[in-house]
Amino acid sequence: MSDGDSTMSEAADAVEEASNAKALDVVARSGFAVVALLHVIVGAIAVAVAFGQPGQAEATGAIEQLAANPWGPAVMWSCLIACTGLALWQLSEATLRARHLPRKERLAKLVSSGFLALAYGSVGLSFAGFAVGLRADSSRTTRDFSAALLGAPFGLWVLIALGLTIMGVGIYFVAKGLRRGFKDELFHFDGSHRGKLIDALGLTGHVAKGIALNLTGLLFVIAAGKQNADESTGLDGSLKALREHPFGPSLLVAIGAGFICYGIFALVRARFGRM
């Protein structure tokens, strides 16, 4: 190893050690708790939408519910810090801690944790927007984003790629739930009543979230295929579209209940997860 490589390795080790700081661990666990709360609220909104009630069944709608309480601004800034810490922790998982893994596992970790880092970072930005008074309709924002892509060179293919990527993440969540891959993230409770409950929550929650992501990604692909940005409405639009189909309300209730299960699982992850 050259002196330059040795210096780079030592620097990476130092940054990795800093990422293991107790403070980041606490903030990241708080971020999991925020994610848990958002999923529970989104699930509850989805169930309400199934019965014809108004609401945005996605993260922005959940954040709007939290911002409406008297302590809204303080809650927004606290959640921003928590989500930022969680995004940084996921980023360190994707890069620093993955350095020692075999190449195939390192690439898988880069994709999965890297996507989560972006997702949690975007949620943090949503909290920041609400904290400073910037609020937007998520479906309209998604349509505007899709329209901008469709109007740009190669934007059609970028939109297709985005939709397929989201669907790929959805398939990953379904597979992770079915093969109980989430157990690796927790201290084990096998054999106990609590362990069986956590297993059921993890399975149901991951599969429901995976289905919802597949629906969201599919709408991006449909929007690209029809070259119509109005077809792309994000998670909220994809769930509301179910309401218009036979058995749609029942499926929407099931997905909403699944999101609530995922939220409870994420809360367990915040407390008992391996970091």
> Using one digit for the tens of pLDDT, what is the confidence trace for 92-112?
887 766 666 677 777 877 777
Distance of alpha carbon 103 from the chain centroid:
25
- Predicted local distance difference test score (pLDDT) of residue 3: 47
pLDDT < 70 stretches in the chain: 1-21, 96-101, 135-145, 187-191, 228-234, 275
- CA atoms of 64 and 131, how far apart (whole Å): 10
Q: Could you give the angle at the alpha carbon of 49 between the alpha carbons of 47 and 55, nearest 5°?
A: 115
- Predicted local distance difference test score (pLDDT) of residue 161: 87
- CA atoms of 208 and 236, how far apart (whole Å): 14
- Predicted local distance difference test score (pLDDT) of residue 83: 92
- Predicted local distance difference test score (pLDDT) of residue 12: 47
- Predicted local distance difference test score (pLDDT) of residue 275: 66
- Predicted local distance difference test score (pLDDT) of residue 247: 79
* C-alpha torsion angle, residues 258, 260, 262, 263 (rounded to 10): 170
Q: Are 39 and 59 contacting, i.e. CB atoms less than 8 angstroms apart?
A: no
Q: How far is CA 214 from CA 122, 133, 140, 175, 211, in A?
A: 19, 31, 20, 12, 5
Structural domain boundaries in the chain: 17-272
Closest CA to 94 of 118, 71, 76: 118
- CA atoms of 127 and 100, how far apart (whole Å): 34
